Amino acid sequence: MTGPITRHRGIESSSREAILMNGTVTTLTSRNADFAQHSFVPGASMMPALNTMVIGCADPRVDPAHVLGLASGEALVIRNIGGRFTPAALQTMAALRAIAQAEGAAPGPGFNLIVLQHTDCGITRLGGQPELLATTFGIDEADLPAKAVNDPRAAVAADVAAIKDNPFLPADFIVSGLVYDVHTGLIDTVVAPSLLRESTAA
């Protein structure tokens, strides 16, 4: 008798969880209806109006749209753990560039690439899992100290440096590094905007 009762309770628990989840979905779809009625702009361009891409953290406290005051359609946003420049982020950037080229609107001079990281980041809780971190960055565990996962300012500087060293990214991109303080709501410009690479043309 214990088995069926246990299974029955498990079904009830799953049903309650489904109901709670449905409540969340109902709230979100209701908000979408309001958005569609009051804020939706038909025919919006696929290309970002501010010629900007942001690499930011997945942390819900650090949504670039809120932190940077971005309006719909103003920027491309890539979010991952820590807002780090990783092989996966680079692959996403390459795919986005291919899409832009297919649209006949590849980003050119003056395109902004912003690396946005923040204080109290969850990535700092992964110090005891070097294998996971090394896999995320696509490096050996011995090279993890260079990624400065415990110091957002050093980390954002390291990522901007890695971006500037990447030969596959356009030299005329403008790259910068920002750190958001989750305790004050303010952003610190750690790496000022500059060309990804200086032109070598004579």
Q: What pLDDT is attached to residue 202?
A: 41
Q: pTM, whole model, 2 decimals?
A: 0.86
**pLDDT the model gives residue 22:** 78
Q: What mean pLDDT comes out for the span 1-14?
A: 57
- Among residues 95, 74, 84, the alpha carbon closest in space to that of 118 is found at 84
Q: pLDDT tens digits for 125-184? A: 999 999 999 999 999 999 999 999 999 999 999 999 999 999 999 999 999 999 999 999
- The pair of structure tokens assigned to 188 is 């610190």
**Mean pLDDT score across all residues of the chain:** 91
Predicted confidence (pLDDT) per residue in 98-113, tens digit: 999 998 887 888 999 9
Phi-psi group of 71: left, alpha or beta (phi > 0 → left; psi -120 to 50 → alpha; rest → beta): beta
Domain spans, the chain: 1-40, 52-195
- The phi-psi region of residue 43 (left if phi > 0; otherwise alpha if psi is between -120 and 50; otherwise beta) is left
| Helix (H) or strand (E) segment spanning residue 76 | strand 75-80
Which pLDDT does position 65 carry in this prediction?
Answer: 95
First CA to last CA distance, the chain:
85
Write out the CATH class of domain 52-195: alpha beta
Report yes or no: 51 and 30 within 8 Å, Cβ to Cβ: no
